[in-house]
Chain A
Amino acid sequence: GQQVMQIPQYQHVQEGEDFTTYCNSSTTLSNIQWYKQRPGGHPVFLIQLVKSGEVKKQKRLTFQFGEAKKNSSLHITATQTTDVGTYFCAGPFSNTGKLIFGQGTTLQVKP
């Protein structure tokens, strides 16, 4: 079936280091969304990418959508302790349009 895979599952970094999580879909996506879930909280929408090769930035966060619209990445520059949480990518699948989430990447930042 259609799947969205994310790697790595966990990442521990020292504060100030960079962090990247990668997302791969088994099929071409019309768009991809990214969410952040703080420990004990609920997922919160970060951004949506629609165009092939699109790059968007939010302060220290850079989001990319692959040329084939099957993969995406989230890069955080100079991590801070406030970046701690689990980052999910999600894509709608063509036959239903419903959002399917990746397994998430949990980021720990050591101060």
Chain B
Amino acid sequence: SQTIHQWPATLVQPVGSPLSLECTVEGTSNPNLYWYRQAAGRGLQLLFYSVGIGQISSEVPQNLSASRPQDRQFILSSKKLLLSDSGFYLCAWTGGTHAGELFFGEGSRLTVL
């Protein structure tokens, strides 16, 4: 069966520090991968998606970047965090088309101080 792992689960970072969140999917090949952000008490905002290795699409201009170095690995990064980057970051995958069911990781809660 397919599983998705996301880490770290929680982190507190100072403004201006770098960020790296990792996500890996097991049990499937060539998944579509997504990074969403959820601000406190808010909905899910799509940040990046990837349909294959090295293929990244950005949905909104921001302080973050994403990379997909391997088929089942998706990384969210920042060189210098801003206060507004605080939130709950969720990695997700779907097989086949974008329109299929999304499977979410457990999420990474980031607090920037």
Residues on A facing B (Cβ under 8 Å):
6, 30-31, 33, 35, 41-45, 48, 88, 90, 92, 96-104, 106
Interface residues on B, range: 20 to 34
Give chain B nearest CB distance to A99 CB in angstroms: 6
B30-57 interface code vs A (CB 8 A; 1 in, 0 out): 0000101000011110100100000000
A103 B107 Cβ-Cβ under 8 A: no
Query: Could you list 7 examples of A-B contacts with CB < 8 Å?
Result: A43-B44, A43-B104, A45-B101, A48-B101, A96-B98, A97-B98, A102-B43
Given contacts A101-B43, A104-B43, contact A92 B104 (CB under 8 A): no
The residue in chain B whose Cβ has the minimal distance to the Cβ of A102 is B43
The answer to whether B105 touches A31, judged by C-beta atoms less than 8 angstroms apart, is: no
Q: Is the CB of B98 within 8 A of A101?
A: no
By a beta-carbon cutoff of 8 Å, the part of chain B in contact with chain A is: 34, 36, 41-44, 46, 49, 59, 90, 97-99, 101-107
Instruction: Considering the complex, give the chain A residue whose CB is closest to the CB of B107.
Output: A42
B33 to chain A, nearest CB (A): 12
Q: List residues of chain B with CB within 8 A of the CB of A100.
A: 46
Q: B43 near A99 (CB under 8 angstroms)?
A: no
Given A42-B107, A43-B104, A44-B104, A103 and B42 contact (CB-CB distance below 8 Å): yes
Task: Report the nearest B residue to A100, measured CB to CB.
Answer: B46
Contact across chains for B105 and A99 when beta carbons are under 8 A apart:
no
Q: Report the minimum CB–CB distance from B71 to chain A (whole Å).
A: 20
* A31-B99, A43-B90, A92-B99 known; A98-B46 Cβ under 8 A: yes
Question: 6 nearest interchain CB pairs?
Answer: A97-B98, A103-B43, A92-B99, A101-B44, A42-B104, A45-B101
